[in-house]
Structure formats: C-alpha cells, structure tokens
Homo-oligomer: A and B are copies of this chain.
Amino acid sequence: MKYLIVGGVAGGASAAARLRRLDENAEIILFEKGEHISYANCGLPYYIGDVINDRNRLFVQTPISFGNRYDIDVRTLQEVTKINRKKHTIEVQDLKNFKVYEENYDILLLSPGALPIIPDMPGFNGNNIFTLRSVEDCDKIKMKAVDSFSLNSSVTIVGGGFIGLEMAENLRKMNFNVTLIEKSDHILTPTDLPIAATVEQHILDNGVKIMTNTSVVAFDDINDRKKIILDNGTEIISDFVILSIGVRPNSSLAQDAGLEIGNTGGIKVNQYLQTSDEHIFAVGDAIEFPHPITKVPYCNFLAGPANAQARIAAVNMVYPETVKYQGSVSTAIAKIFDLTVACTGLSESTLLHSDIPYETVIVHPAAHATYYPGGSPLSLKLNFSLEDGRIFGAQSVGKQNVDKQIDVISLLLKHNGTIFDLVNSEHSYAPPFGSAKSPVMFAGMVAENIFSHLMNPIHVKTLDQMIDNNEDFFLLDVRELIEYKNGTIKNAVRYSVDELREFLDEIPENKKIVVFCEVGLRGYVASRILMQNGFEKVFNLIGGMRTYRMIGLHNEKP
C-alpha cells in the first residue's frame, strides 16, 4: 500500500507514525509545506516570551529523526497543490526549486490544519501586523519584538482568545505596553461572563489594557509604526499588531478536489474520519465533526483531538471502518499570568444560540483544604439541564487545581454525564490536594439542590435587572456584620444566617425574597430556613457577592 499524508504537524505526523507501526511494508510519504514537522505549536507564545529559551526545544522531531525511526519519506518545503481523485494522484510543488511533480496514492490523508482569519480592511498589509500560527510566524514576531523594544514600546493585540491572551502575557512580561482589543462583551468567548471577568481583572492588574465591545475598522502606517482605528473612533498607535481573531479550516485543497465541505468551511468526514471520497481521510483543524451534545458539526481547533483523530484515521486507513471517532467536547485551558482558566463543553452563549434550555451554577470553593497552607479559591461554573440533569459544560478559573476539575467534567461530558454523577464522583483527597468535597462535587450538589427544588436560583444578571426596574422585592444579606460593612448590594437588609430564625417576623411574607451571602452556601441554608417557614418566593443568589463583584468589576471597567 502507498499512503500519502498532506501536512506534517500534529495530525499528519501522528498518523504517519501509527501507519508505520500498523504496516511495516507500506510506502509512506509525508508532505509538509513548511520547514518543520511535528513541532510544538502550543509552545510558540512561550518561545516568543523567552519562557522557552531554546528554540530547538520546539521541535519534537526533525524530518530526519522522524524519517529514520519510522522509515518514512518526509518531504518538507513541498506544497501539495492539487488532488486528482480519478487518477489517485496529487500534484506537489517543491518550494526549494519550484518544480512541480505528481505522486500517486492508494490512500491519502489530509491534515493541512487551519489558517488565520485575515480581515479585509483598509491599511491591512504586511507591515507590522503579525499572525501566529507557524514557527515562521513565531520567528518574525520574536525578531520584531526584540528589534522594536524600547522603554515605551507598545503592541496591540486584536482578539481576546486563548492565543491572544497568551501573547498578551508574554509580551507584557517583556515590558511592552500591551492593549487588547476584543469585539465581544468579554474576552475568552468559550467561557461565560463571571469566569472571563475574573481573567479580565487579572490581566488589568498585570498592566494589560483591555477594550471589550470594540472592533478594529482600519489600520494605517505611521512611519515604522501602526495606527489602529477602532469603531468607537479611538486611534491607537503601536509598534506592531498581533492579529489573533481566530482561524479557519485550510480546506481549499479538498474543496478544489470536489470533496464535500460543511457549512463551517471544514472538510466533511464520517465517523471513520473518511471524506466523501473513500480513498481520502482527513483529520485535525481542517475538518468539521458533530459536537457530541449539540450534534451540530463544528471545527475544533485543538491539538488533543487532532492527535486522537490521527491515531484513529491511521487504523481505519489500514483496516477499513474499524474505529469510530466520538467527537470532541472542546476542552481547553490557558495559563494567564498567575491564573489558570479552562473550559469544556458548551458556554451559555452557545446554549442560547443552540436553543437548548439550561440552568447554571457557580461555586467558589477552596482549591484545597483551607487549613492546609498555600491554598487559594477557584471558581467553577457548571451549565446543565434542568430536564434530566445532563451536564452541558463547565468552566473554571483560579490559581490551582483548575485543570483537574475541567478534566473530570470533560470526561463526564463524553459519557453523557449528569450532575448526579458529579455528586457521586470520588476523588483523591488529602489536605494538600483538595477537600473532602471536591469542587466538582460541590458544583454538582448546588445543581442538584436546584434540580430537586430545594433551592430556587437567581442570577446576578436577573437581580441587576430587578434593581434597574425598581421591582418591589426584599433583598436579604445573611452574612456577618463585618462582611456587610465591607460592601453589600444596595437596599439589602442584613440578618446573619445564624440568627435568622429569631428574626423571621421581620421578613415580609408576601414579597419575593432574594437571599445572598458571600459565595452561596449560607444563602442556601438561609433559603431552606425561609422556605420551610412558609415563605413562598425565596431565591438564592447563585455564587453570592463574590460573583456579583466579579461581574460588577467587568461592567465598571473603564
């Protein structure tokens, strides 16, 4: 058999290695249009920031070492420009000498990756605007950063996604004045507001300027600097711009060959990762695949699933229709200065957009037992179904143990897990690592309390609307006096949860009552006391004052 593979980064290289392990006698040729294969894509921002200071560390394998180990013909700087499906050949351009040649295949694998989205706007040219996708991009940015650095050097980053934020951190640590422009109302759109707002506050605290709800309308060249013109009329002048507004599947080769392309622009594949041509497989950023929850095809631009797909595609290329790909729930994480933020599954905005009814909770437990030194709180938000308790998604932010919570929920999402599974989960507990109740259990318990009508939830947004509309309701702060004095919500009346039973006569009987505490736990205890004492319309503020402040700080951001 003769296998050709287009693209030598995550998906292509993994598939090639596995193909060889499955078929020692096959002919395998790997085509990569860049200079490198199998490099550490996700490490590029850290190489720019000198966290990774040896460039060689980015290269997991060289074309020679990889070729030797797996007996693969690795052809770098060779671009595949055409597929002749009838003839079972591809057309390759050798970028070193611009010669074009053909190569035939029995089975072809496409792993061409994604391309940065480039806006069509005035002033957008090659001067001082960079995208980050390849080692070559990375080298250019690093050179520019080193060259242009002086005391007042500045950079504007357009796009507040994971890579935009990683670049903001790394450039800020190099002492650039960094401005981040985000067109949505919050950065990190795969996460919901309270989580994103915490990250926004943290990067503000680290000296990065953020502008949300803001778009770039044009660029201009001012000597060797760049002017960025925003939709609100503001103009920013920076030494250079990093454009990180997303990527799109690199599916033009497939499209030109008449392979089916989905609505997202990604190559359509079946469960065996086979395209509409049975002799052509595709993996990685270039494909679309149904989301396990929404069932709607989408593109998942993540390294983990690309590797997993490669392993599956290789098996199916050798042994047809053997292993099914299950799809990805989009689990992602980033370190942003001292915080970790991670998410899995569906955000509120995706759920709304998909017309899926949901409820949401947020908890703020300690990352490990509070009596053991060195701990800090984390926030964990859980989106779930009130119909059957199914989990839709989760997000977390904090300094410690954020990855662990999201990995556990990610696994549950792939098994159609429910909030009850979270309550029944079992984790490794000793004081340095957690608490007897883990954050995921705790979130599951709050969700279960809502599900079983032990508690009626109210969210910060709704409370804010009630306040704005001058609605007539009773706002009850059940914290201690010292907490109340450090700031409460306007018009709140305070009775500590521990003395609430003595003051039931002071609570109006027929009004809607909104109870809150610092994080939601005492509010729950208080609402149980009230509900069981005949008060009928009692609501507990989910996530308490801490969530209220998280969102408030976001809203008040200059």
**Bound complex: CA A528 to CA B415 (Å):** 32
Contact A436–B307 (Cβ < 8 Å): yes
Contact between A427 and B414, CB atoms less than 8 A apart: no
Known A-B contacts A454-B21, A498-B65; the reply to A411 vs B433 at CB < 8 A is no
Interface hits, A397-438 → B, CB 8 Å: 401, 403-404, 406-408, 410-412, 414-415, 421, 423-434, 436-438
A433-B335 in contact (CB<8A): yes
Chain B residue numbers with a CB within 8 Å of A58 are 371
A371 touches B43 (CB 8 A): yes
Assess the A426–B71 pair: CB atoms within 8 A. Answer: no
Take A371-B57, A433-B333 as given contacts and tell me if A25 and B532 are in contact as well, using a CB distance cutoff of 8 Å.
Answer: yes
CA distance A415 to B411 in the complex (A): 11
**A425 contacts B411, C-beta separation under 8 Å:** yes
The answer to whether B533 and A333 have CB atoms under 8 Å apart is no
Which of A197-205, A247-255, A324-332 interfaces with chain B? A324-332
A42 touching B369, Cβ below 8 Å? yes
Given A69-B498, A411-B412, A432-B335, verify A426-B373 contact (CB < 8 Å): no
Residues of B within 8 A of A20 (CB): 528
The answer on a CB contact under 8 Å between B414 and A51 is no
In the assembled complex, the Cα of A407 lies from the Cα of B366 at a distance in Å of 17
Contact between A333 and B428 (Cβ–Cβ < 8 Å)? yes
Q: Does A489 contact B (CB under 8 A)?
A: no
The interface centre, meaning the residue of A306, A326, A432 with most chain B CB atoms within 10 A of its CB, is A432
Within 8 Å of chain B (Cβ to Cβ): is A383? no
Assuming A403-B434, A408-B408, is B52 touching A305 (CB within 8 A)? no
> Min CB distance, A155 to chain B, in Å?
21
How far does the alpha carbon of A426 sit from the alpha carbon of B343 in the complex, in Å?
Answer: 12
Binary per-residue interface labels of chain A (269-312) against chain B in the complex, 1 for a CB within 8 Å, 0 otherwise? 00000000000000000000000000000000011111110010
- The reply to whether B428 and A332 form a contact with Cβ atoms under 8 Å apart is yes
User: A553 within 8 Å of B by Cβ?
Assistant: no
Q: A334: CB under 8 A from chain B? A: yes
Interface residues of A in 20-65 (CB under 8 A from B): 20-25, 40, 42-43, 46, 51-52, 57-58, 60, 65
Which of B46, B373, B429 is within 8 Å of A303, CB to CB? B429
Q: Are A431 and B340 also in contact (CB < 8 A) when A371-B57, A414-B424 are?
A: no
**A69 / chain B contacts, CB cutoff of 8 Å:** 497-498, 525
Give min CB distance, A36 to chain B, whole Å: 13
Which chain B residues lie closer than 8 Å to A433 at the CB level?
A: 333, 335, 340, 403
Using an 8 Å CB-CB cutoff, how does the interface string of A92-103 with B read, 1 for contact, 0 for none? 000000000000
Tell me if B429 and A333 are in contact (CB < 8 A).
yes
Which A residues between 347 and 405 are near B, CB-CB below 8 angstroms? Answer: 369-373, 401, 403-404
Indicate whether A90 reaches chain B with its CB closer than 8 angstroms: no
Q: How far is the CB of A530 from chain B (nearest CB, A)?
A: 9
Residues from chain B with Cβ under 8 Å of A51 in the complex: 372-373
**Contact pick for A24, options B70, B445, B529, CB 8 Å:** B529
Determine whether A10 belongs to the interface, using a CB cutoff of 8 Å to chain B: yes
The interface centre, meaning the residue of A334, A369, A426, A437 with most chain B CB atoms within 10 A of its CB, is A426
- Contact status of A426 and B21, CB under 8 A, knowing A69-B497, A333-B433: no
The answer to whether B525 touches A21, judged by C-beta atoms less than 8 angstroms apart, is yes
A427 to B410, CA, bound (A): 7
| Known contacts A407-B408, A426-B328; A436/B525 CB under 8 A | no
CA distance A305 to B423 in the complex (A): 11
Q: Do residues A371 and B407 form an inter-chain contact, with CB atoms below 8 A?
A: no
Contacting residue for A428 out of B68, B410, B431, B434, CB 8 A: B410
Which residues of chain B have C-beta atoms less than 8 A from A42's C-beta? Answer: 369, 429-431, 436
CA distance A373 to B407 in the complex (A): 22
Q: Is the CB of B43 within 8 A of A372?
A: yes
Roughly how many angstroms separate A25 CA and B534 CA in the complex, as a whole number? 12
Q: Does A88 contact B (CB under 8 A)?
A: no
- Rounded to whole angstroms, the CA-CA distance of A10 and B436 in the bound complex is 9
Within 8 Å by CB of A414, from B65, B162, B414, B426, lies B426
Q: Is B46 a contact partner of A331 (Cβ separation < 8 A)?
A: no
| A20 to B501 Cα, complex, angstroms | 13
| A344: interface (CB < 8 Å) | yes
- 5 residue pairs of the A-B complex, CB under 8 angstroms, read A21-B528, A46-B431, A331-B426, A344-B426, A344-B428
Beyond contacts A25-B532, A42-B369: 8 other A-B pairs, Cβ-Cβ < 8 A, are: A23-B532, A40-B431, A52-B371, A57-B371, A308-B423, A328-B426, A401-B403, A407-B407
Sorted nearest first, the 9 A-B pairs with minimum C-beta distance are: A24-B532, A333-B428, A57-B371, A303-B436, A21-B528, A404-B404, A342-B428, A68-B498, A335-B432
